[in-house]
């Protein structure tokens, strides 16, 4: 997932296990796709807002990809 590697990897790690930001390995079982879109668009606390960095369709692609991560196991990038 190129978008993830470019924009998110530095804080959430290549395998989604987290670094500055929390692990996203099971995010699909915590947040809906719409909640993921909102979080990436608007950010929260230490999480930057991406609405000026990424297009809406890019944010949707990322949110959909993240929503498929429902349990911690091998990484599928």
Spatial neighbors of 4 by CB under 8 A, at least 6 apart, are 12, 62, 65, 77
Considering the complex, what minimum distance in angstroms separates the CB of residue 74 from ligand HEC? 19
Applying CB under 6 A, which of residues 1, 33, 41, 48 lies at the interface with ligand HEC?
Answer: 48
36: contact with ligand HEC by CB under 6 A: yes
Which tokens hold the place of 18?
Answer: 């987290």
37: contact with ligand HEC by CB under 6 A: no
Spatial neighbors of 64 by CB under 8 A, at least 6 apart, are 33
Give me the residues that bind ligand HEC (CB under 6 A), please: 7-8, 10-12, 20-22, 24, 27, 30, 36, 39-40, 44-48, 50, 62, 66
């Amino acid at each position: 997932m190129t978008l993830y590697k470019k924009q998110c990897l530095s804080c959430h790690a290549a395998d989604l296990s987290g670094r500055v930001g929390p692990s996203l390995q099971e995010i699909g079982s915590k947040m809906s796709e719409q909640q993921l879109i909102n979080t990436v668009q608007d950010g929260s606390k230490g999480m930057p807002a991406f609405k000026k960095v990424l297009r809406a369709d890019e944010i949707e692609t990322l949110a959909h990809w993240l929503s498929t991560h429902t349990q911690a196991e091998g990484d599928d990038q």
